[in-house]
Amino acid sequence: MNPPPSQDRPPPWQSLVNGLSQEVKKPLSTMAMGLQLLREDIRGHHALSAADALTKVELLLREVQHVQRIVQDFVRLTQEPELQLRDRDPHALVEEVLAFLAPDLAEKGIRVCTQLDRTLTNIRVDPDLLRQVLVQLVRNAEQAMPSGGVLTLLTHSEAERLTIHIIDTGAGIPAEIRDRIFDGFFSTKPDRAGMGLAVARQIIERHGGSIACDSAEGLGTRFTVALPASGGPIA
């Protein structure tokens, strides 16, 4: 007989469903209020200028689009990404990402340091998806250092496994939310659902790897991505 589920920790799908419910609640409430106001204007035969009507309709359309994005993110998170595996130099991917984001990093006054262990010259990955993960992690580091700082990217090769460290000198992640940053729909930004890290974890785990976060308030944050050289989905 299987043991009963833990009473202390809800299943992963429950947090996703709860997150989806919370995210759609606000735009749906806004749409309901806007429609009620339009109904009152129509019922009361109130003089409604074209400009006023257009403003209300545009508000409703924005909220509809907001809900559509939330649902699309939910679908994306619940679907396993299909990997297009190729042999690639992971350090070249790191350098491509840094070159792509260099103007934004320079504008924020962020200095970039790299230390790349090129012992492992090729790993089998989906280059587009790995690039997506690296962009997400570097963007996170950038957002953590709005007044400038140092971004460090390190790679280490050992026993057919590559480890990538992305380290920032930002404010760090508070301990009380550190365990939630990979949850779907969790974000410290009140106006945006935090799907990026949840999708990043999904991509890395689909490759048979892992992603972890260490952070100290006032000192910075380190994300560590570990990937097997052979790549491939988890069996």
The residue type found at 50 is A
Q: 161-164 contacts: CB < 8 A, separation 24 or more? A: 161/226, 161/227, 161/228, 161/229, 162/90, 162/120, 162/123, 162/226, 162/227, 162/229, 163/224, 163/225, 163/226, 163/227, 164/90, 164/94, 164/134, 164/224, 164/225, 164/226, 164/227
Q: Is the pLDDT of residue 85 over 60?
A: yes
The pLDDT, as a whole number, for residue 58 is 84
CATH of domain 12-78: 1.10.287
The pLDDT, as a whole number, for residue 21 is 62
What are the CA-CA distances from residue 228 to residues 123, 152, 161, 182 (Å)? Answer: 7, 22, 4, 21
The answer to which of 55-64, 123-132, 185-194 has the lowest mean pLDDT is 185-194
Rounded Cα distance between 69 and 63, Å, is 10
Domain positions in the chain are 12-78, 86-228
Q: Is the pLDDT of residue 188 over 70?
A: no
Look up residue 195 and give its two tokens: 């799907």
Q: 177-184 contacts: CB < 8 A, separation 24 or more? A: 178/213, 178/215, 181/213, 182/211, 182/213, 183/15, 183/19, 184/15, 184/16, 184/19, 184/73, 184/74, 184/77
Look up residue 8 and give its two tokens: 């202390």
Q: Is the pLDDT of residue 1 over 70?
A: no
List pLDDT tens digits, range 5-45.
444 544 445 555 565 666 677 777 888 888 888 787 777 76
Q: What percent of the chain has pLDDT over 70?
A: 78
The residue type found at 212 is A
Instruction: Please name the CATH architecture into which domain 86-228 falls.
Output: 2-Layer Sandwich (3.30)
This prediction has a pTM of: 0.69
The pLDDT, as a whole number, for residue 141 is 94
> Which range scores top for mean pLDDT: 24-28, 46-50, 132-136?
132-136
The answer to which of 13-22, 82-91, 135-144, 174-183 has the lowest mean pLDDT is 13-22
More confident residue, 203 or 78: 203
The pLDDT, as a whole number, for residue 61 is 84
What are the CA-CA distances from residue 212 to residues 23, 179, 190, 201 (Å)? Answer: 25, 10, 24, 9
User: Per-residue pLDDT averaged across 210-233, rounded?
Assistant: 90
User: Per-residue pLDDT averaged across 123-133, rounded?
Assistant: 93
Confidence of residue 190 (pLDDT cuts 50, 70, 90): very low
Q: Which of 103, 76, 81 is nearest to 204 (CA)?
A: 81
Confidence of residue 4 (pLDDT cuts 50, 70, 90): very low
